[in-house]
Structure 1
Amino acid sequence: MIDAVEQLEETPGRALVESGALVAGTMARTAAGLLFDPGSSRVRLHDGLAAWLRRTATDADVEAPSPVSARARCRAGAALAFATELSVTRAAQGRTVRTDGFLTPGPGGRAPADEIGEAVVLAARGTAEEWRVRHLGYLLAEAAVAADLDAAVVARGLRLAGSLTGRQLVLLAAVGRRERIPLPIAPVPQDPRGWTTWAALEDLGELQRGGLLDPPPPTPRPGGSALPRLRPADLRLTRRGVLVHRLLALEFVRDEAVTEALADLA
């Protein structure tokens, strides 16, 4: 009996998800049990969704490039644990798993979702900002219930997110919750002296120029007239911004992080 338990715990894929405890805490072990020993929990995942996450975890564990640091490995496992966690929440919210073939393996045994799973594992391994790992995992859970987003659109959203700084993601989160937590109405500085505020304004400007936030940066007027002052309260998510916000479930970014990012703009 003990040998059977030890063998179960050492199953490739399960071992990877459990290793995510360094980033995801004890939830990683619960998620591993839900994926690889579903009979041990009262909670159940959709069969196709669970099979996809198991397949992603197993492939990432068995076919991991060498060498992979222990910390990078645990980030990959944590991303899959967070995906499992949000999948349970989405099911409780009544969000149904898509049935359009996204999760269904085709020729070669590979589903469209498998490309996304592999890309998320790679992104999780490679990030030094480990708070991002939660949201990378959340992308998998959201993609599984977002029937209006095909694999190419999901991949685009992941690439967009990967090109952004951590503070830029938090600023998107701030604008996305503007109805719940009003944004400041004081104009942002035009010529800040401190480096922190300068860098925060650079992040904001890149979001505007990149088409993730409206309004875009103002164009200098003929005659050198004064440009309008931007207030955080004026900001809105564009369609590109909505895609990143939705896929990474940025509504779960901590309020403290949002407060800090907005303070950097002051």
Structure 2
Amino acid sequence: MFISSENSPPSFKDYTLVMPAVAVGNVAQLSVDLLVSTFNMSRAGHIHTDCLIPMAGNNPYATREEDTEQLHTPAEVYTAPELKLAILQIRAPIIQAKSKRFRQLLVSWIKASGFSRTVVLSSSHAYQRDDQQLQGIPLRYLATASLLKTSADALKELGWREMERVPAFPGLTDANAEPRLCIPGGGITKGLYTDSCAEDLPLAVLLLFCSEGDNIPDAFTLVNHLNDWLHLLDNHSQEPNKWKIPTSWSLLFGSGIPPALF
């Protein structure tokens, strides 16, 4: 359930929603961090649900000392009205037994809010690619039929590759076996895409093949591909391809080695 930060709930009609899937390397969440920080987006509210592991923390986007003590929760919505852009940032893992219910909650909220389109950022294990997925850049996309009605030409011009379907049983030749969509390490990505197809929602998935580790370069790669499509920086005062790193990234890998050890 969405709970607004203001007395009156905001209108998301004709907004583009960008959200991450909690997936390998947290690439999508880092990409969303860059969007919120770069465009100095304001918090519009949060999603209250028991489907996420409970957590709370300080403001990850604070630019002044007095802002650091603001309390932030696992799923929050940010907006940039001048760009008609809304961001849903998810900071906590989804409870596995409640994954389907969380997808249903998201789909219901997206439909009720009237977003013009939804873009899910995600990632998938690089080591589980098959031969055809090793070709080209490590970016893949998926798009529902509803989104293709308005964005098919734009996606074609970008030259991106659609996420390949892979054999159900790799290595075995069976003419009757239909290739299937497989996104290992992608969390709810596949389920959310399938649900959106069934509900005729205009939704696209942008995902990057990656490995666990320092995934900051992957986040920049993914958000740059997103900008190639949506032209967010081009329509903003920020310099082209100039993303602002949030203050919380200084703690991505913890503090330094304690001098007392030596």
| TM-score, with length taken from structure 1 | 0.24
Greater relative contact order structure (CA < 8 Å, 6+ sep): 2
| TM-score, with length taken from structure 2 | 0.24
